């Protein structure tokens, strides 16, 4: 059974700092990995999707990497801003449940001015 773990569970940083969120998964037979953002009381918004054949994806200040063989992904946020404060969720598709997302528990990020 696929399991996804995110570290740390919570992170508080001052504005302007670069930061890294970590995600690991137990079954490397994935089809893709996604990073989502969730604001309090809101739904999920997809930030980046990395297909299994790719090593990284970039969008603005966000960069996500994927090392499928070791079962790890990182989300790098450059020059953090208070507006980046949210919960970040990692999810994988594939392995033993093709097409269905398996989520980690999320990292709660707080960026203070």
CA distance 102 to 88: 14
Q: Kindly write out the interface string for residues 86-105 of this chain, putting x where it contacts other proteins by CB under 8 A and - elsewhere.
A: ---x-x-xx---xxxx-xxx
- Tokens matching residue 65: 């990497």
Q: What kind and span of H or E run contains 50?
A: strand 44-51
**CB atoms inside a 10 Å sphere around CB 89:** 23
CB of 30 to other proteins, least distance (A): 9
* Nearer to other proteins among residue 49 and residue 62 (C-beta): 49
| Pairing state between β 44-51 and 72-77 | unpaired
C-beta of 81 vs 105, nearer to other proteins: 105
- What is the closest distance, in whole angstroms, from the C-beta atom of residue 100 to other proteins in the complex? 5
Tell which positions 2-41 bind other proteins, by CB under 8 A.
Answer: 4, 31-32, 34, 36, 41
Q: How far, rounded to the nearest angstrom, does the alpha carbon of residue 87 sit from its chain's CA centroid?
A: 10
| Of 19-27, 62-70, 73-81, 85-93: span binding other proteins (CB under 8 A) | 85-93
| Complex with other proteins: residue 35 or 80, whichever CB lies closer | 35
- Token readout for 67 is 């090392």
To 5 degrees, how large is the angle CA 43–CA 83–CA 86? 40
Q: How far is the CB of 46 from other proteins (least distance, A)?
A: 4
């Amino acid at each position: 059974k696929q399991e996804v773990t995110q570290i740390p569970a919570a992170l508080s940083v001052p504005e302007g700092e670069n930061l890294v969120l970590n995600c690991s998964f137990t079954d490397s037979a994935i089809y893709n990995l996604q990073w989502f953002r969730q604001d309090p009381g809101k739904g999920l918004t997809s930030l980046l999707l990395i297909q299994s054949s790719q090593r990284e994806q970039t969008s603005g200040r966000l960069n996500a990497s994927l090392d499928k063989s070791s079962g790890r992904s990182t989300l790098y946020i450059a020059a953090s801003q208070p507006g980046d404060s949210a919960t970040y969720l990692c999810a994988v598709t594939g392995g033993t449940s093709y097409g269905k997302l398996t989520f980690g528990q999320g990292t709660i990020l707080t960026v203070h001015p």
